[in-house]
Amino acid sequence: MAHPALSRLTLEEKAGLLSGASFWRTRGVEHAGVEAAVLTDGPHGVRLQRGAGDHLGLDDSEPATSFPTAAATGSSWDPDLLREMGAALGREARALGVDVLLGPGVNLKRSPLCGRNFEYVAEDPLLAGVLGAAWVEGVQAQGVGASVKHFAANNQETDRMRVSVEVDERTLRETYLPAFERVVTQAWPATVMCSYNRVNGTYASQHPWLLTDVLRDEWGFDGYVVSDWGAVVDPVAAVAAGLDLEMPGTGGRSPAALVAAVRAGALEEAVLDTAVERVLGVHERLRAGRAGEVPAVDHDAHHELARRVAVSSTVLLSNDGGLLPLDPASGGTIAVVGELATTPRYQGAGSSKIVPTRLDTALRALRQRTDREVLFQPGYSLDPDPRDDVDEDLHEDAVTIAERADVVLLFLGLPPQDESEGFDRTHLSLPATQLRLAERVLATNPRTVVVLANGSVVTLDGAVGRAPALLETWLAGQAGGSATADVLLGRDEPGGRLAETIPLALEHTPAHLNWPGSDGVVRYGERVYVGYRHYDATDREVARPFGFGLGYTTFSYDDLVVEVDDPAVARARVELSLTNTGSRGGSEVVQVYVEDVEASVDRPPRELRAFTKVHLAQGEQRTVVLDLDERAFAFWSPTGWRVEPGTFRVWVGSSSRDLLLHADLELAVPAPVDRLDEASTLDEWLAHPTGGPVVRAALGAVPGADAMVTDRGTRALVGPIPLRTLLGMTGGDTDPDAAVTALLAQVS
């Protein structure tokens, strides 16, 4: 049934509802009862501008809780915590009058060079999808819509407004679409945001296969598609393809183009009506789901939640000799070195930059939480172009306090100018001044803990990698300083596990030879081999593997059992015993990877197919159960998702490279049958259940042709040749095309 407002709207008004009224607001039509809606950034905090908005929408916004960025929260591996964070964001959005919060970003980390990786969750689609869906569920439970972004294949900032991502369908289906698919089918986001880039030559904003065939017809999406801000090139083509709302407003240009297209017969008015109904229907459902009065926001509670999220996302990369945690009550002097300890890098730059309600620093938090003497020197400048003599003086002062300290806490990281929305990084290194400082401090005091703050991985070169203890805090939000202090002093354990591999060198990364493209095109030549899939397939050493992270306790994995109720159905249950064997409570992320032992296509050696985060008290044992569904065994083929019969190996462990247990299972699912056509090879005909007997009979009637089937050497030579070509090579008057057509008619 048509939306009741449609009959009261003019063509011009309907067209106007498909384009923003301003930078952050949609249009309203008072006489038809259509209310305007407010959409705003962002995934890590509600970034609401009260005014009309500057021309880029980047000016100061209302204060809001700055939660850890996705680079951090991806490392939490904790959907329950992400759901709780989403609920807090939803409450703050409601209090500020926001209808749709733009996020989460679930684009994969194709390369660690992507300048926006701080806003993306992981290099693995399952992890990104599970955490993204939990975030959406939390936000939308508060009556605020989410806008999962950026659909699709938005994996670089270089030329992001125009670049064409050249990618095959299998790579899209297995790598770049599954996170979106999970969020859409599990959490039902109010909106999906299309990306700027082109996909195989067509802009995402006007891509009917993406926006209609896949998103709506296959996945059942029932919300509306909104453009990224400024992503629409042709508003008529966009609406025809399945885009519903163009943002921001264009001053009436896009509505006028839509009206002209309808009047010229180039666009059916019914298509316009459908888009209007989607936009109005979503906004009305959101408003109907807001029970009672707007809840008061407890910013203190949200700050504490931000601290807990940061703690759960902090990854301990090394801890030689148990240097951490530090004793807060006794011991010698602690030297804190690094400007980032007092001027924290806690959020990304660009559209997700918000004004925090408060801001903790690690230096202040450490002094509040320990009775030990705490000295401080900045060690380096965050100025984009510091003078060498300034840095040299700062280095000298830092070495001086390092000499007299029992332990040094060396805070290093990427300054804001090194990574941001809008441009990509060119290297994976820390600033040179920080690396020189690290060498001098480590030489002076080997009891040094390096604390990193960055939105994407950095290489662990030189002294950084040699430090006995190394803590990755990412961009940890407004409470990151206190969270870091709590982890360093053992009040909390570092709960994070890497959501992206740390490579030994940039040239080892999977997209290195296809980054960032040229002449307006970037080719995804690495195909499905992204992240750990690439490093495992090439057997390449890495600095730290995907899923890695240490804690302050230890765990044992035992008694793995993999059960299949019905071998004809691709489902399995994984069960194991997990025991905390250490001296304190802690959490472990149990990771399940699946290997297809013998596949008809090339596949990554192992792929993450299930995970769970488990907290155990000292000495506690728990049985962990995880389920594997059909997709855990499948790959994408020209005929859709395919599971082949045979042996699969299930690996369980604490990272992609620390796989402690494994078990095999046999699936007796029906063997998939490929469709034969005019170009099918002899081998493909012979493997076909009905085509095989047909072609054997046909070849048996051709003198000498039976050797193609019966002689091993001949079969190896001619098997990969199309049957049509082989028949043409046998001589005679038979038309090979007609012969193959006749044979195809006999195949069911």
E strand map for 504-551: 521-523
Q: What is the pLDDT of residues 241-292, one digit of tens each?
A: 999 999 999 989 999 999 999 999 999 999 999 999 999 999 999 999 887 7
Mean pLDDT, the chain, as a whole number? 94
Cα–Cα distance, 669 to 660 (Å, whole number): 28
Domain 555-667, CATH class in plain words: mainly beta
Question: Is the peptide bond preceding residue 79 cis, with omega within 30 degrees of 0?
Answer: no
pLDDT, mean of residues 729-737: 74
Q: Do 34-52+61-245+282-288 and 555-667 come out as alike in CATH topology?
A: no
The proportion of the chain whose per-residue pLDDT surpasses 70, expressed as a percent, equals: 97
Give the per-residue pLDDT at 58. Answer: 56
CA distances from 57 to 24, 39, 62 (A): 8, 12, 13
Q: What is the pLDDT of residues 307-329, one digit of tens each?
A: 999 999 999 999 999 999 999 99
Give the per-residue pLDDT at 193. Answer: 98
How many CB atoms neighbour CB 367 within 10 A?
Answer: 16
CA distances from 568 to 521, 626, 627, 664, 667 (A): 44, 20, 16, 16, 6
Residue 506 three-state SS? helix
Radius of gyration for the chain, computed over Cα atoms and rounded to the nearest angstrom: 29
Cα–Cα distance, 452 to 475 (Å, whole number): 9
Cα–Cα distance, 276 to 239 (Å, whole number): 10
Cα–Cα distance, 412 to 434 (Å, whole number): 7
- Could you tell me the pLDDT band of residue 692, with boundaries at 50, 70 and 90? confident
Question: In this structure, are residues 137 and 289 in contact, taking their beta carbons and an 8 Å threshold?
Answer: no
Q: What is the largest CA-CA distance in the chain?
A: 98
Give the per-residue pLDDT at 353. Answer: 87
Give the per-residue pLDDT at 689. Answer: 86
Give the per-residue pLDDT at 375. Answer: 98
**Angle between the 299-313 and 79-95 helix axes, to the nearest 10 degrees?**
150
Give the per-residue pLDDT at 314. Answer: 98
Among candidates 651, 677, 675, which has minimal Cα distance to 664?
651
| 85-89, 182-186, 222-226, 347-351: the lowest-pLDDT one | 347-351
Q: Which two tokens stand for residue 254?
A: 């896009």
pLDDT, mean of residues 135-163: 97
Higher confidence at residue 416 or residue 650? Answer: 650
Higher confidence at residue 2 or residue 207? Answer: 207
Cα–Cα distance, 453 to 378 (Å, whole number): 15
CA distances from 371 to 63, 361, 374, 629 (A): 33, 18, 9, 52
pLDDT of 360 over the 80 cut? yes
- Could you tell me the pLDDT band of residue 53, with boundaries at 50, 70 and 90? low
| 349-358, 429-438, 502-511, 516-525: the lowest-pLDDT one | 349-358
Among candidates 656, 657, 636, 635, which has minimal Cα distance to 646?
635
DSSP 8-state class, residue 447: -
Residue 47 three-state SS? strand
Residue type present at position 395 = H
The string of DSSP letters for 414-427 reads --GGGSBTTB--S-
pLDDT, mean of residues 568-597: 97
pLDDT of 59 over the 70 cut? no
- Could you tell me the pLDDT band of residue 56, with boundaries at 50, 70 and 90? low
pLDDT, mean of residues 55-59: 55
Cα–Cα distance, 276 to 159 (Å, whole number): 31
Higher confidence at residue 712 or residue 441? Answer: 441
- Residues 6 or more apart whose CB falls under 8 angstroms from that of 720 comprise 681, 682, 683
H helices of 9-96, in order, are 11-16, 70-73, 79-95
Pick the CATH number of 34-52+61-245+282-288 from 3.40.50.300, 3.20.20.300, 3.40.50.720, 3.30.70.2190: 3.20.20.300
Cα–Cα distance, 20 to 251 (Å, whole number): 9
Cα–Cα distance, 104 to 109 (Å, whole number): 14
For 259, list phi and psi in degrees, rounded to 5.
Answer: -60, -45
pLDDT of 704 over the 80 cut? no
Question: In this structure, are residues 146 and 191 in contact, taking their beta carbons and an 8 Å threshold?
Answer: yes
CA dihedral (650, 655, 656, 657) in degrees, to 10, reads -100
The proportion of the chain whose per-residue pLDDT surpasses 90, expressed as a percent, equals: 82
Give the per-residue pLDDT at 446. Answer: 97
pLDDT, mean of residues 159-177: 97
Question: Is the peptide bond preceding residue 295 cis, with omega within 30 degrees of 0?
Answer: no
Give the per-residue pLDDT at 747. Answer: 85
Cα–Cα distance, 432 to 448 (Å, whole number): 19
Task: Report, as residue numbers or ranges, the catalytic residues.
Answer: 228
Higher confidence at residue 490 or residue 712? Answer: 490
CA distances from 212 to 16, 192, 234 (A): 22, 12, 17
Burial of 690 (0-12, 13-18, 19+ CB in 10 A): exposed
- Could you tell me the pLDDT band of residue 732, with boundaries at 50, 70 and 90? low
Q: What is the pLDDT of residues 10-36, one digit of tens each?
A: 999 999 999 999 999 999 999 999 999
Instruction: Tell me the pTM.
Output: 0.95
H helices of 125-265, in order, are 125-140, 169-171, 178-182, 208, 235-241, 253-263
Among candidates 359, 355, 401, 346, which has minimal Cα distance to 378?
401
Higher confidence at residue 424 or residue 53? Answer: 424
pLDDT, mean of residues 584-596: 98
Q: What is the pLDDT of residues 371-421, one digit of tens each?
A: 999 999 999 999 877 666 778 899 999 999 999 999 999 999 999 888 989
Pick the CATH number of 299-499 from 3.40.50.10320, 3.40.50.1700, 3.40.50.300, 3.30.300.130: 3.40.50.1700
Give the per-residue pLDDT at 112. Answer: 97
Cα–Cα distance, 659 to 127 (Å, whole number): 18
pLDDT, mean of residues 177-193: 98
Overall size of the chain counted in residues: 748
Instruction: Give the domain ranges of the chain.
Output: 34-52+61-245+282-288, 299-499, 555-667, 682-745
